[in-house]
Amino acid sequence: PAANRVQVKEHLYKILVIGEFGVGKTSIIRRYTEDFFSDNYKLTIGVDFALKNLDWDETTKINLQLWDIAGHERFGHMTRVYYKYAIAAIIVFDLTRPATFQSVTKWLNDVNSKVMLANEEPVPVMLLANKCDQEETIDSNALTDFCKDYGLIGWFPTSAKRNINIDEAMKFLIEKILSLP
């Protein structure tokens, strides 16, 4: 009977993954979408894409389009084009290379100056402190304060190598996206 029929909603979300070269953007995406990891570094040239389809709940399907953007600055001039129509961003830094954290505000400014939501609010941005398998000392309070100060939605220590917190972080981000007005 018609009353039993549920309307399934399908969402397509474009999410940017940005941060300095070598921090693990491609590795995080491949872990999340293919459950694959390699220790070999193969830098991303320009931009790459990956898709992930989720049956979020009985009435919601989510198609994530992850835009894996090269961190090397020689590719940086194209970001305005790549960022268009994104609904959220993930900024990744490498816990073993503090300079990559120093660049987080640069990437945040880049996003905030080039893309916004339809209602002109900034897109939600999540911070990932990657390679936590290699560096265990994390100043959690400082990162939490940093997120608050800069309007980031939150942060997670992650390891693409050991598969730590990748699914959890993505779930958190999707929940934020779904709760956008």
Q: Which does 134 bind (CB under 5 to 8 A by kind): Mg ion, ligand GTP, none?
A: ligand GTP
In the complex with ligand GTP, the residue whose CB is nearer, 39 or 120, is 39
> What is the secondary structure of 102-143 as a DSSP string?
HTHHHHHHHHHHH---TTSPPPPEEEEEE-TTT-----HHHH
Q: Which residues bind to ligand GTP, rule: CB under 6 A? A: 21-27, 38-41, 43-44, 70-72, 130-131, 133-134, 159-161
**Closest listed residue to residue 65, CA positions, set 52, 78, 81:** 52
Q: Which does 41 bind (CB under 5 to 8 A by kind): ligand GTP, Mg ion, none?
A: ligand GTP
Residues 9 and 61: beta-carbon distance below 8 Å: yes
Touching Mg ion, residues 41-70 (CB under 5 A): 44
Q: Which does 22 bind (CB under 5 to 8 A by kind): ligand GTP, Mg ion, none?
A: ligand GTP
CA distances from 126 to 8, 40, 83, 101, 107 (A): 28, 26, 15, 13, 12
In the complex with Mg ion, the residue whose CB is nearer, 72 or 148, is 72
CB of 111 to ligand GTP, least distance (A): 15
